[in-house]
Amino acid sequence: MHRLHSARRTLSSGSNLLLRRWAMPTSIKYFTFEVTRRCNGRCIYCNIWKDTEHENELTVDDLTARLLPYRQHFREVVSIAITGGEPFLRDDLPVICARLKFLSPKARFGLVTNGLCPDKVVETMKKIREIDAACGIGVSIDGFYPEDQQLRGSNVHYELAWTTVRRLLENRFNVSVGSTLTRINIGRALEFKSFCEERVNVKWMFQIVGESVHYYDNLKRIDGISLTSKDLEMLEKVCQATAEQVFPHYLVKYMKEKKQIIPCFSGFTGFFLNSRGTVYPCIHLNSPLGNIKEEQFGDVWMGEKARAIRKDIVRKACHCFTPCEVCSWGEANFLPLLKIRLKKRLGG
């Protein structure tokens, strides 16, 4: 059965790679929705919280009116990532999730929170669990108190975020702790991983700090804290220790080569929808496909602009390495995953 599934995925990977070569979208498997840019956090590597214009955020009615007519594009979606800002600042978050679940019945929700409002997060998650029993949530904590305090720009974040984690665990949610790795916290990353997994019994995940003009609005502002070649040895250890996750496998190779090392499917299999309705291939590439408030989603997704952007992605004009990107190729192209599995089996 497992072999049959692998064979099917390998076949579909072949057709997806062909479609990609012609800059044609494959069926949408996932998307990320920034429900708001409002944020009560003050992270030093992100300027979303400085954004003060929130009037144009997509409403529940906008989502229904702009996406539902294109339901056929969303039927095969397996994963919807809800991000912000701080998503839980939107009181209508459960209603948003209900509408999106109607749009994509097979989708599982993955939410993130900075953990600053434990009660609100837990109560909202209880409502979201009624819509999707398998929903998961990641609470952002950037290491032990001194590192977290420095990176998150808050004296109270560490304590509150752990309260959120504990309360989610008590309520039996699928919860993980996520850290953004920088020069400041990578030195104790493995110690923090052990603390999460052995002391608290919660899964630890990570990403590396990254730059984005249209999302984090942090261009050139992370120069002092981004990982450099000096951090690669430590990063390699972190990747080895998290080898059960797919994301770390090619990360060090990427950091050395700084190019698209696996064919990226962002903009083909998935997209990023910002809170004002603009569709991008991902959170990094500052190339809008269009805006669903101004145009029909079908025209945005299938239009000439999208095709030109896809051509750029195919010719590797951009590169990055984030868990979201890995999610995109993993869904569309099974072959790198197969390689990882074979390597593991052969003990390589």
CB-CB contact of 25 with 72 (8 Å): no
Strand partners, 177: 139, 204
Name the residues that contact ligand SF4, by CB under 6 A.
Answer: 39, 41, 43, 46, 48-49, 84-86, 114, 260, 264, 266-267, 281-282, 284-285, 313, 318-320, 325
Token pair for residue 212?
């984005």
Kind and range of the H or E element at 206? strand 203-208
- Going by DSSP bridges, is the β-strand pair 30-34/290-291 parallel, antiparallel, or unpaired? unpaired
- Calculate helix-pair angle for 157-170, 145-152, nearest 10 degrees: 110
Smallest gap from Cβ 315 to ligand SF4, in A, equals: 11
Residue 330 burial (C-beta neighbours within 10 Å; 0-12, 13-18, 19+): buried
The nearer residue to ligand SF4, 76 or 211, going by C-beta atoms, is 211
The nearer residue to ligand SF4, 104 or 114, going by C-beta atoms, is 114
Helix and strand numbers (H, E) in the chain are 14, 9
- Cα torsion for 28, 30, 259, 17, to the nearest 10°? -30
CB-CB contact of 339 with 262 (8 Å): no
Residue nearest to ligand SF4 (CB): 41
Smallest gap from Cβ 49 to ligand SF4, in A, equals: 4
- Cα torsion for 230, 234, 236, 242, to the nearest 10°? -150
The nearer residue to ligand SF4, 203 or 310, going by C-beta atoms, is 310
Smallest gap from Cβ 244 to ligand SF4, in A, equals: 23
Smallest gap from Cβ 146 to ligand SF4, in A, equals: 17
Smallest gap from Cβ 324 to ligand SF4, in A, equals: 7
The nearer residue to ligand SF4, 83 or 104, going by C-beta atoms, is 83
Which residues, 6 or more positions from 34, have their beta carbon under 8 angstroms from its beta carbon? Answer: 83, 84, 85, 215, 272, 273, 274, 275
The nearer residue to ligand SF4, 242 or 322, going by C-beta atoms, is 322
Smallest gap from Cβ 64 to ligand SF4, in A, equals: 26
The nearer residue to ligand SF4, 103 or 273, going by C-beta atoms, is 273
Which residues, 6 or more positions from 131, have their beta carbon under 8 angstroms from its beta carbon? Answer: 94, 97, 98, 101, 109
The nearer residue to ligand SF4, 41 or 290, going by C-beta atoms, is 41
Kind and range of the H or E element at 46? none
Smallest gap from Cβ 100 to ligand SF4, in A, equals: 20
